[in-house]
Amino acid sequence: MRRASLANSDFGRSEQENQRLTSLRQNIEANIVRYLAAASDGPTPVPGLGVARLRSPLAPTTYLYEPSLCISARGAKRVLLGDQGFVYDENRFLLTAVGLPTVIAVDASPRNPYVGLQVLLDLELARDMIAGMDTNRLDTAQSADPGIATGPVTEELLDAVGRLVKLLDTPRDIPILAALLQREILYRVLSGPQGSRLRQIARLDSQGHRVAKAIAWLRANFARKLRIKELARVSGMGLSTLHRHFHELTTMSPLQFQKQLRLHEARRLMLAERLDAGSSALRVGYESAAQFSRDYRRLFGQPPMRDIRSLQADNT
């Protein structure tokens, strides 16, 4: 799993800058822990903000990322997209430019918990902001860049995120200040070195935007038999162009992407709705239980029901 070196010299930061970043992270962690003392992990009263604190390991778990920025105030998270892996921690954020099915895992303990947050990104707002930005001076995405990346956390970005999290202490301020802070965070992302991915997805005339339309269609219709010509028509792309750009953005072919969506949903059905493997396979569009079992084991490492029993045991 790829991971950039986290040595201070790699970021070119002074000791003073590192101290300010540490202070900002500590404040964010304290605000999240204080909020979670009376609430559960997940969405918060601040629109688009989710928080989490883990004090035990999180086994590999399916997670469908929406366009978002994820930041760790403490600890690290591993994210697997297709056959590519990413790690983000206190020094690096995770940016997801389009909805992608992933597998996530966290090493955490009572002494070394994971404390993190996710800020959903509004692509409509991103389009409006891009129109007013001088994007010619910004780096552009390489054609082979996937729709997920890590990048260095800057003081400006962390400061804006910290002020958004701080709103959890003052609910009366949320209706007025949350939208302003979301806008500032989005600007910091768009104007940063990894913002090119988001800019490519947001632009209506880009291949990335067309692939995003194909992804949205697959997510809404994953149980249907996939017809590539129909998907190409929905996205407004030729067949070969669709295949090339879809793989570049997701690291998968459309068929592999659909399979992952099906397997992730089947796992959720077995866990949350306690369906058996056969019923889950049928619900998500599989016609062969044997094929479902083979695909499931290839992705998650175990046959369906054994995997579910392991997950249930980890949560007891």
Largest Cα–Cα distance of the chain, in whole Å?
Answer: 60
- Mean pLDDT for all residues in the chain: 89
The string of pLDDT tens digits covering residues 1-40 is 444 434 344 566 788 888 999 999 999 999 999 999 988 8
Instruction: Identify which of 213, 192, 217, 188 has the alpha carbon closest to the alpha carbon of residue 202.
Output: 213
- Give the domain ranges of the chain: 8-202, 207-251, 256-314
Cα atoms in the Cβ-side hemisphere of radius 13 Å centred on 304: 26
Pick the CATH number of 8-202 from 3.30.420, 1.10.10, 2.60.120, 3.40.50: 2.60.120
Structure tokens given for 109: 């303990």
The string of pLDDT tens digits covering residues 145-191 is 788 999 999 999 999 999 999 999 999 999 999 999 999 999 999 99
pTM over 0.95: no
pLDDT at 206: 84
Report whether 44 contacts 51 (CB < 8 A). yes
The string of pLDDT tens digits covering residues 93-143 is 999 999 999 999 999 999 999 999 999 999 889 988 988 776 555 545 444
CA 265 to chain centre: 17
Give the strand pairing for 68-74 and 92-96. Answer: antiparallel
The string of pLDDT tens digits covering residues 287-316 is 999 999 999 999 888 999 999 998 877 665
Give the three-state DSSP class for 267: helix
Pick the CATH number of 256-314 from 3.90.380.10, 3.30.70.20, 1.10.10.60, 3.40.50.1860: 1.10.10.60
Structure tokens given for 217: 């269609």
Task: List C-alpha distances in Å: 61 to 40, 58, 92, 308.
Answer: 18, 7, 21, 11
What is the identity of the amino acid at 173?
D
Instruction: Categorize the per-residue pLDDT at 144 as very low, low, confident or very high, splitting at 50, 70 and 90.
Output: low
Q: Average pLDDT, stretch 249-258?
A: 94
Among residues of the chain, what percentage have pLDDT more than 70? 91
**b/e code 21-54 from CB counts within 10 Å (16+ = b):** beebbebbbebbeebbeeeeeeebebebbbbbbb
